[in-house]
Amino acid sequence: MFDRFANVWTAVTLAKHLKVGKPLPLEVAGEKIVFFRDEKGHPRALLDRCPHRGVQLSLGKVENGCLECPFHAWKFDGSGAVKHVPLNPDAKRERLFATSFPVREVGGLLWLFTGTGKHCGEPEVPSALTMVGPARTYLEIEWNTHWTRAMENMLDSPHVPYVHAGTIGRFIRPRLRDDSRMDVTWEETAFGGKTHSTVDDDPGSGATLEWYRPNMMVLHIPVPGELFRMHAICVPINATRTRMIIIGARSFATLSLLNPLFNYSNRRIANEDRAVVESSQPLEVPPPREEISVRTDRATLQFRKYYFSTLVGDERREEPDELEEHATTH
């Protein structure tokens, strides 16, 4: 299940999309999942396939916090337990289960754990999504690519002056000389990593990105004395589609009237990325040796190392030292 994306927490969509009394079907990493709210309003998630005859549970209805299958009206609670089997009062209900998954509602988002394991822990949620104070804007867009290409784009600083020459890269672009040099640092953190880039040692060109395993980036935009962050979550839908959730958080100009302006800007920047990222072939990032890398690819190579060693975990795994060496030989 959840091919190459198993046993991780991921945000899947905005929590406001899950209404009381209405099932919400979503595809996550190739699996059909149905979300619904239980009798306390808490979000729940089941495999969107009835264990009786395989029907999509999301075609059914939610009543008293239980999900009813549209075929023979079996009722499932949020844990997947069968609460009623019509016409079969003698059914051994305690042996009948739908597959359930841990789900949380934090920071205005629905979070799903892509496994059924008991020891899933809790999702790692960046502070700017939950703290009181900042104004936040939310945007969801679908990209026609594998989530790994989208994630690498979000961790990639050297494209900014070129892809975003008219937006966030417009201050750096005019300062670039033919012999300009970008330096990229990488630091492991408890939740993933942190990368900082500067051009020609100019502090004004600096950009700091945080990576939250497996699929979130937080960009820290320097505004003196203020908080200004952009979060991008690359949610795998399937092998060819990715749901991008883009959340801005700011401690200044917090009037909600201004939200459409900030969202407009985030959408424009995301569309600049989309135009190039959707053209990358193959859609899923290949092992490092199958593409040429250079020194400024440090952050994306770190992501690729994690992806192949942890999520793919197959025979294509390469040793960390090989990756470092590969990145520095060009």
Query: What DSSP designation does 97 have?
Result: B
Pick 53 or 316: Cβ nearer ligand FES = 53
> CA 250 → CA 128, 159, 165, distances in Å?
9, 24, 23
Least separation in angstroms between residue 294's CB and ligand FES is 54
Nearer residue to Fe ion within complex by CB, 142 or 322: 142
b or e along 293-320 (b: 16 or more beta carbons within 10 Å of the residue's beta carbon)? beebbbbbbbbbbbbbbebbeeeeeeee
For residues 33 and 25, the answer to whether their CB atoms sit within 8 Å is yes
Q: Which of 204, 222, 31 is nearest to 116 (CA)?
A: 31
Told to check if 326 binds ligand FES by CB under 6 A, we report no
Q: What, of Fe ion, ligand FES, none, does residue 273 touch, CB below 5 to 8 Å by kind?
A: Fe ion
What is d(CA 109, CA 99) in angstroms, rounded to the nearest whole number?
22
Closer residue to Fe ion in complex, CB, 77/273:
273
307's contact among ligand FES, Fe ion, none, with CB below 5 to 8 A by partner kind, is: none
- The least distance separating ligand FES from the CB of residue 52, rounded to whole angstroms, comes to 3
With residue 75 as reference, give the H or E element that holds it: strand 75-76
Integer Cα distance of 54 and 98 in angstroms: 10
Minimum CB distance to ligand FES, residue 81 (Å): 14
How many residues bind ligand FES (CB under 6 A)? The answer is 8
Token output for 308:
């192949």
Residue 16 CB, shortest distance to ligand FES, in Å, is 29
Residue 57 Cβ vs ligand FES, minimum distance, rounded to whole Å: 7
| Cβ neighbours for 329, distance < 8 A, ≥ 6 positions apart | none
Binding site for Fe ion (CB under 5 A): 273
* Shortest distance in whole angstroms from residue 130 CB to ligand FES: 38
Choices 45-53, 204-212, 283-291, 319-327; region in contact with ligand FES by CB under 6 A:
45-53
Nearer to Fe ion, 235 or 269 (CB): 269
Q: Is the dihedral of CA 296, 198, 208, 189 positive or negative?
A: positive
Site residues (CB under 6 A) for ligand FES, limited to 48-77: 50, 52-53, 55, 69, 71-72, 74
Cα 117 from Cα 7, distance rounded (Å): 8
Q: Which is nearer to ligand FES, 98 or 299 (CB)?
A: 98
Kindly list the residues in this chain that would bind ligand FES in the complex (CB under 6 A). Answer: 50, 52-53, 55, 69, 71-72, 74
